[in-house]
Amino acid sequence: MSVNDFFSALRAPDRADRLALRSPADTLTYPALLERVREQGELLSRSGARIVASLLDNGADWIVLDLACLASGAVHLPLPLFFSPEQIAATLRASGAQVLACAGGDADRLAAFGFSPLAVAGDLALLRRPAQPAQLPAGTDKITFTSGSTGHPKGVCLSAAAMLAVAAGLAQATTGLGIERHLVALPLPVLLENIAGVYAPLLHGATVDVRPLAQVGLSGSSRFDPATLHAALIEARADSAIVLPQMLRAYAGWLHATRHPAPASLRLMAVGGAAVGPLLLAQARAAGLPAYEGYGLSEAASVQTLNLPGADLPGSAGRPLPHARVRIGADGQIEVAGSLALGYLGEPTARREWWPTGDLGHIDAAGFLHIQGRAKNVLITGFGRNVSPEWVEVALASQPEIRHAVVLGDGQPMLGAVIWPQGERDDATLARAVARANQQLPDYARIGPWLRGRAEFSAATGLATANGRPRRDAIQERHADLFTSSPQPSLP
């Protein structure tokens, strides 16, 4: 799908009176949205900027800016609000962004990065600076950030064609679900929400309900209040939403504890970003949430596979969507094709037909993709068994007493775990939780020694990346005594 095709779909005559965006500050029909996009696109074109960065909370301004970049040919560089000042400075420096969009109240603070006022549109401020834009792969329309185990964000360069192919594939796959209202529940700089939560619903002719992150229960990179999300889903009468596994777990637990019914309007709660596991899905569905797991990566413009009503296998990541091709390489790695990135910011990558994802997996006879874990994380025990730690971590984190778990044990006679509890839990309670998880696992993958984490797994403590992935080397270093003096043996 081309950019022209995308905007032509939004201009369809049957959308003249439909709501495209709903937010606390704006309610825009499709024609009103397109007019705002046209005006802002013309402003960006007059600025002469090639790369436009944004540092904005979720809202209509974010979506209008993103679509204006798409329409005008500017490269959009959305920065997550949880980026540190050092990460913001490094990203702006590496990209050579010439325009920065921000909330009006942040303009003075961001002047420290060399920007001066360009224009003001309501609560949105556009700043500019003289800068030489970075050399980007030809055809780049967006730079999105993915953070690996080192914690250093990498800018993935994507074309509009790749992003819109994914959006069109999602729209096609979900046509029969009757989704008319989507609630944005993740930060919009997260590519999954940007494509599956904005582009795909707009192609459907649906309404995108977008609110500041605090109004859907999110703050920082990892704090979440399920009661706030619940209230937003009810008020929006949302048919769909996208959440991360930890959000799903907290929300399902809150529904169970408070005996609140799940929102009656929900038809699809897609879950991505990390492994989910069949037990968590069962808990969520028992609470009334229509939770379905998918799989994707930034280097393939997000979603590649998805479970859906009528095509669902809990424990799998679903079947490939219409735009995607998925296969298993000779080394057991999942490889994808069809909507690939052009390269990385500052690291041009040779074009290839198939992208090795770094994830191990298999495709069953019915076409469902099963994820085993990251190839680089595989542990080889002292008895020569290869174990993907993510698989064991999902079993541990499925226990209500355990919030996070990281499994270690390369070269050890048995696996061990560092555990961060859910709330206040004593050691005996955690030991019982480990024992229950062990009952789901074969003997070679069971946890022997374990330790309570000495700090929360977060970017602030250095034990997680900016987007919440555990930094395994740092966790192992911080808990080096796990296999030598662990006071917490697992129960049989």
The pLDDT tens digits for 409-438 are 988 888 999 999 998 899 999 999 999 999
| Mean pLDDT (whole number) for 470-487 | 85
* Length of the chain in terms of residues written: 492
Where exactly does CATH 3.40.50.12780 map onto the chain?
160-374
pLDDT of residue 483 exceeding 60: yes
Q: Provide the Cα torsion 67, 71, 74, 76; round to 10°.
A: 20
The domain defined by 379-479 folds into: GMP Synthetase; Chain A, domain 3 (3.30.300)
Q: Are 300 and 349 in contact (CB under 8 A)?
A: no
Q: Provide the Cα torsion 186, 340, 166, 250; round to 10°.
A: -30
The pLDDT, as a whole number, for residue 489 is 52
Q: What's the count of helices (H) and strands (E) in the chain, helices before strands?
A: 14, 30
Coil, strand or helix at 33: helix
Distance (Å, rounded) from C-alpha 75 to C-alpha 83?
20
Where exactly does CATH 3.30.300.30 map onto the chain?
379-479
The pLDDT, as a whole number, for residue 380 is 87
- Could you tell me which CATH number the domain at 160-374 has? 3.40.50.12780
DSSP H or E stretch at residue 198: none
The pLDDT, as a whole number, for residue 391 is 86
pLDDT of residue 491 exceeding 50: no
| pTM score, whole prediction | 0.87
What digits encode the pLDDT tens for the residues 369-413? 999 888 898 898 877 788 989 989 999 999 999 999 999 998 888
| Mean pLDDT (whole number) for 98-110 | 92
Q: For domain 3-158, say whether CATH 3.40.50.980 is its number.
A: yes
Where exactly does CATH 3.40.50.980 map onto the chain?
3-158
Question: To the nearest whole percent, how much of the chain has pLDDT over 70?
Answer: 96
What digits encode the pLDDT tens for the residues 182-201? 999 999 999 999 999 999 99
pLDDT of residue 152 exceeding 90: no
pLDDT-derived band of residue 350, with 50, 70 and 90 as boundaries?
low
